[in-house]
Amino acid sequence: MKTNENELQANLRLLQEKYQASGQDMNSYLQGLMQSNYLTYWDYINLDTLLTLQQPKTSFPDEKIFILYHQITELYFKLCLNELEQVPGRSSDAGFLLSRLKRLTAYFSALTHSFQIMVDGMEPEQFLQFRMALLPASGFQSAQYRMIEIWSTPLENLLQFELRASLAGNAETGYLLENIYWGRGAAELSTGQKTLTLRQFEEKYGQRFFQLAEEVKGKTLYEVYQGLPEEARNRSDLREALRTFDRLVNIEWPLMHYKSAVRYLKRDPEDIAATGGTNWQKYLPPKNQFRIFFPELWTEQERAEWGRH
């Protein structure tokens, strides 16, 4: 390949300036470049490591599907957090917010549609056996799922539904987290006590959730939207993108997920207690959790019918 001499000189000059600015010797770096290997696809994305991260607990082949699909979902959650974390830095830019919302909805839409892999994709007979080797672990313990919620809306909107109306003013983060809706999903069926699944989850992530909740106060997706000038707030494309995200995260994905729980766990005549030993039939349906990230974007009737269609 023929290199344009002028371009080469210009690039060398720029490089020299770059290294000089930080007191570095460009020649040493060029020698390093001579020794470096070409980048490969497999090294760049850490493929060999990635493909060693599936470690089934049993010999059922379908357990790999279960692990892989959870990992795929967690990677999508990471994509979501990558977008959410950027929003406060551009809080007055409605166009930026809209572009990030489009990405967020694309991720959750992909997750919702691909969930069929879980619903149809495993043999229930295998699932019912290998799940017993996974106790008391549960997808309930996905910290990224909770972080997406914490980034999206003030904790007040994630409080257990009956407590929301009586909430006067700004409640303490500790109180809000102690009474968060998900506490309901991890109460032991027989005693109402916190399950081991929840206790372990809180022990591992409780402090991080607290710190994150404090850090994002006033900067959640909802609050960034509310802080925009009225004209931007009234943009129909922005409002629609927020509504779509709300619907996907708080109705459509949970319904697909619930469908898989029903398909696999309803089979047992005694309605097998879920992995965490919880009353999941009551807890999981979105109409019972009543999570709405952006309440003011829904009419009273839409809110009243949340998750019912």
In the complex, which residues of this chain contact ligand HEM (CB under 6 A)? 69-70, 73, 118, 138-140, 142, 145, 182, 185, 257, 260-261, 264-265, 274-276, 278, 280, 284, 289
CA distance 201 to 128: 24
Q: Which is nearer to ligand HEM, 73 or 112 (CB)?
A: 73
> At its nearest, how many Å lie between ligand HEM and the CB of residue 142?
4
> At its nearest, how many Å lie between ligand HEM and the CB of residue 190?
14
> At its nearest, how many Å lie between ligand HEM and the CB of residue 76?
9
Q: Which is nearer to ligand HEM, 154 or 185 (CB)?
A: 185
CA distance 293 to 308: 17
Phi then psi for residue 94, to 5 deg, are -65, -35
Count other Cβ atoms within 10 Å, centred on residue 117.
14
> At its nearest, how many Å lie between ligand HEM and the CB of residue 91?
28
- Answer whether 297's CB lies under 8 Å from 242's CB: yes
- Answer whether 131's CB lies under 8 Å from 265's CB: no
Task: List b or e across 151-190, with b for residues whose CB sees 16 or more CB atoms inside 10 angstroms.
Answer: bbbbbebbbeeeeeeeeeeeeebeebbebbbbebbbbbee
> At its nearest, how many Å lie between ligand HEM and the CB of residue 109?
15
Q: Which is nearer to ligand HEM, 186 or 241 (CB)?
A: 186
Q: Which is nearer to ligand HEM, 100 or 257 (CB)?
A: 257
- Give 298's DSSP letter: S
Q: Which is nearer to ligand HEM, 69 or 245 (CB)?
A: 69
Q: Which is nearer to ligand HEM, 26 or 272 (CB)?
A: 272
By Cβ distance, which residue is nearest to ligand HEM?
139
> At its nearest, how many Å lie between ligand HEM and the CB of residue 66?
7
Contacts of 268 by beta carbon, 8 Å cutoff, 6+ apart: 128
CA distance 173 to 304: 27
